[in-house]
Amino acid sequence: MFKITLKRIIGSGYQSFRRNGWLSTATIMVMVLVLFVLGNLIFLGAIAGTVLNALESKIDISMYFVTSAPEEGILGVKRELESLPDVKEVSYVSKEQALEIFRDKHRQNALIADALEEIGDNPLVASLNIKARDPSNYAVISEFLLEKNYPTVDKINYFENQIVIDRLANILSSIRGGGAILAVFLSLIAVLVAFNTVRLAIYTMREEIGIMRLVGATSWFIRGPFLINGVLYGGISALVITFLFFPLSWLAAPKLSFLIPNFNLFSYFISNFFEFFGIMIFAGIFLGVTSSFIAIRRYLQI
């Protein structure tokens, strides 16, 4: 009996969906737009994570020593830092090595080569480059360096790099926040459109609803088809946007890989396809059923 009733409810809901074809299409188009924004927010989150991880993996702490710092003292600091559990390795760059690296980097620039010849003495200083076992360990290492406050240390560059990373993280967070606000705004529009579609369906079926009441149909038998409408709006929208992202992610992947070599949009989409589709189907059906339920509560007095 339950299966027969459910089958009739689904059949009635599908008929109502087809009967209001143009309105159903408009509702689905608005929901597709909402899900498109939501899908882009998911991709943006993955891109932001990749960019920040790439920056954090390349960052290190460079300690530059004063010109008068003795090599033995620098090596003593190196040994002390290597004993820290959060430190992966510490490399020492002498003044001479720093000059060789600088010359090799700017060997095509005759002006810099002439300037070095003019100065005569080596203007560069010795340094220690510190690599952490994990990017999250840099904060602990930097606190240790601040506490030690080595008198022979002239400058530590980590703090400047961290400011840049923090600013980038804030920018990406602001973009995600703006996208979330846009998604909420479009969701309200989608609910409003679906709400009016279901309201019109209720008005169109008012005579049928009256007959069902007279023959003793249950309240959920009458309400069920309109909830099925909401499920259809959301489900079809999720299918449309998921398969729309196939060509879009494939076309955008090469251009995005040029800017972010470590991230392939199409590969990410394929590897997370079922998770992505699950989010789309849940969001779409939630919007559709919510708007249908509100319309039923407001206009279908049983």
Contacts of 218 (CB under 8 A, 6+ apart): none
Per-residue confidence (pLDDT) for residue 86, from 0 to 100: 84
**Is residue 266's pLDDT more than 70?**
yes
**pLDDT by residue (tens digit) across 202-261?**
666 666 666 666 666 666 666 777 788 888 888 898 999 999 998 998 998 888 888 777
Decide which of 170 and 90 is more confident: 90
Per-residue confidence (pLDDT) for residue 215, from 0 to 100: 63
Does the domain at residues 67-151 carry the CATH identifier 3.40.50.720? no
**pLDDT by residue (tens digit) across 96-142?**
887 777 777 766 666 665 665 666 676 678 888 888 877 667 778 87
Do residues 226 and 201 make contact, with C-beta atoms less than 8 angstroms apart?
Answer: yes
**pLDDT by residue (tens digit) across 49-97?**
777 777 666 677 888 888 888 888 888 888 888 888 888 888 888 878 8
Delimit the CATH 3.30.70.3040 region(s) of the chain. 67-151
What pTM did the predictor assign?
A: 0.68
Residue 281 confidence class, pLDDT cut points 50, 70, 90: very high
Q: What is the mean pLDDT of residues 186-214?
A: 69
